[in-house]
Structure 1
Amino acid sequence: MDQLTWMVRMPNYSSGHCVVAIAQIAPVWLDRAGTMDKIAGKIREAGQSGVRLVVFSEGVLPGYPFWIEHTDGARFESDLQKSLFAHYSDQAVDIAGGDMGSLCATAREAGVWVMLGCIERDPNRGQSVFASLVTIDDNGEIRNVHRKLMPTYEERLVWSPGDGAGLRTFELDGFRLGGLNCWENWMPLARSALYAQGEDLHVAVWPGSVRNTEQITPFIAREGRSFVLSASSLLRQEDIPDNAPHVDLLRERLPAVCADGGSCIAGPDGEWIIPPRADDEVLLIAEIDHARVREERQNFDPFGHYSRPDVLELQIDRRRRNGASIRD
């Protein structure tokens, strides 16, 4: 077994089991084409390993905007910030325009479901971008695009707030699959929106830090009595490509390590299946069994026997918001 592959097999109690994986990689930062090639390679590797679902980190395509914190990102009318954003918007993914086509084809060829974080630009919304979590099925079809509801702190300087259109779950080998972006996972009602649709396989995507994943991953697993995959990425000085805009300044200002990984998998009892893994590019693989969900929901089922819909009820608006309603 490759030393950069970590595999865990669980007891086979039932027919409802699934092999899942997290691809913890460094993007070819701020380079859409280069990063897509790297992602495609990991999808193929996952398929060759018998994986049914492979997950990538928040904004991995084409990368998280680490420059904001270290280059005076809040300065108004900054030529530097305008230049960096213009490049970022250019390298963002136009999903309607077919930018994900090659990855969809790779997912189909590998027979693998893919969930990955991307920076999405919607031509109907100008040049603004969203942090989106895209779900591709094993037929190569894009099943869902979930735009991050609320960018966190300095992220609001480059990412637009999303909407509820992507708060959806999907059947996968006896599991119900859903996912959220980064600090959305701290939003009780966002989590509940997925629990209410039967989610029991939860994907949480992060830019990359053990401090983000080590506490909340087992908490969500225990609260939802679900399997939880937390996917993170890496970004080190050596991952800043020579063709990045303002490359000399970025190498001067950014720390040696912006993102150290921290990808991990927890079971529905809140215990680690794979604890947070830091500092290297790795494909983390685990076989999960739905019987464990049913066992843990014997005493607590968040939207089942332990809910009180007569007292507490959540309303979810899943309309895609475009900012205009046009009648001709």
Structure 2
Amino acid sequence: MSNSTLQVALAQISPVWLDKAATLGKIKTSILEAAHAGCELIVFGEGLLPGYPWWLSITHASAWDDRIQKEIHAHYARQAVQIEKGDLKEVQELARKHQLAIYLGIIERPTDRGGHSLYCTLVYINPQGEIRSIHRKLQPTYDERLTWAPGDGHGLQVHALKAFTVGGLNCWENWMPLARTALYGQGENLHIAVWPGAVRNTENITRMIAQESRSYVISVSSLMRRSDFPANTPHLDVILENCPEVLADGGSCIAGPDGKWILEPVAHSEGLLIQTLDFNRVLEERQNFDSVGHYSRPDVLQLKVNRERQSSVSLNE
């Protein structure tokens, strides 16, 4: 395959909810399937490892000092990813072995923020198996704020991948014009948008971002059904009391740089969705519009981005 084309896999799968080890097993299986299909990039949904906090919207999650909510949250924290302790090493090794780039949505419990708070994080692993960016969601949405902390700008980074320049955002961050612009301004032409899973989230914004940026846009969503809650989930009876049969129906899709569908949103289907992208289409569509190039006015409008990793403590040793 030439340097100007890229074969991509959208991994629309469900987690083994709040089971880090078992979900990692499914992720590794998907990576191997993508590698065997000749893919060069695979993308997983938001917070897939170990899962999205679905209980928040179907239980009394805002109850103050509630024992049930505390115990579910503690279970969530125990299953969260600690990159510093090597939780992603096996994924990195598969990326290196198969020369496959990976965008993976995780729930992170980072030691550089004390090791107890949780962040919705999008990790980029390059084909050499190196973690090149760890982007913590800037602003958790609505009930997510009950369990996720707000991130920072450190992960607003892009990466060279063959002829392409890739960058990514989590869920409703994709609605933040300045967050998108921060990536556009670094040369992004393949935008990754990860979601917990819903056609209603991806069917409009995917094409809108493509039209605005004149880039390819890949939206990847997960699946989650009532039957995907493991039997050993704390307070499962409370979670299932008002739980619908389907919490996430997928909706993974790809729009081209002209805003037209390459792959329309796919619902209720688990597995890999594979397409080949041609970089030349980016150059064609930038001819008449480039929001950070010939169609920008930096003498009038500029964006400043703080990419410092934030921490409550600075230790001088």
Specify the TM-score bucket, using the shorter chain as the normaliser: over 0.9
For 1:21 and 1:140, the matched residues in 2 are separated by 17
Q: Tell me if 1:86 matches 2:84.
A: no
Q: How many residues align?
A: 316
Amino acid at match of 1:237: R
The residue number in structure 1 matching 2:98 is: 110
For 1:109 and 1:326, the matched residues in 2 are separated by 37
Greater mean alpha carbon deviation, residues 235-244 or residues 129-138: 235-244
1:223-242 equivalences under 5 Å are 223-242=212-231
User: What is the deviation of 1:139?
Assistant: 1.4
User: What is the deviation of 1:251?
Assistant: 2.6
User: What is the deviation of 1:30?
Assistant: 0.6
The residue number in structure 1 matching 2:300 is: 311
The residue number in structure 2 matching 1:217 is: 206
Give % identity: 55
Cα offsets for 1:79-114 (capped at 9, x unmatched): 011001101111000011111111111222222101
The residue number in structure 2 matching 1:67 is: 55
Amino acid at match of 1:70: I
Q: 3-state SS of the aligned residue for 1:215?
A: helix
Match of 2:121 among 91, 116, 132: 132
For 2:245 and 2:280, the matched residues in 1 are separated by 43
1:1-328 equivalences under 5 Å are 15-126=3-114, 127-328=116-317
Q: 3-state SS of the aligned residue for 1:96?
A: helix
For 1:15 and 1:73, the matched residues in 2 are separated by 49
Q: 3-state SS of the aligned residue for 2:83?
A: coil
Question: Could you say if the C-alpha distance between residues 326 and 201 of structure 1 is closer, same or farther in structure 2, counting changes exceeding 3 Å?
Answer: same
User: What is the deviation of 1:311?
Assistant: 0.7
RMSD: 1.1
For 1:245 and 1:123, the matched residues in 2 are separated by 25
Structure 1 unaligned blocks of 5 or more: 1-11
Cα offsets for 1:34-91 (capped at 9, x unmatched): 0000000000000001110000000000000010011100010010110011011110
For 1:108 and 1:15, the matched residues in 2 are separated by 19
The residue number in structure 2 matching 1:7 is: none
TM-score (norm 1): 0.94
Greater mean alpha carbon deviation, residues 240-249 or residues 262-271: 240-249
Amino acid at match of 1:247: L
TM-score (norm 2): 0.98
User: What is the deviation of 1:15?
Assistant: 4.6
User: What is the deviation of 1:252?
Assistant: 2.7
User: What is the deviation of 1:258?
Assistant: 0.7
For 1:123 and 1:176, the matched residues in 2 are separated by 30
For 1:235 and 1:249, the matched residues in 2 are separated by 17
User: What is the deviation of 1:249?
Assistant: 2.6
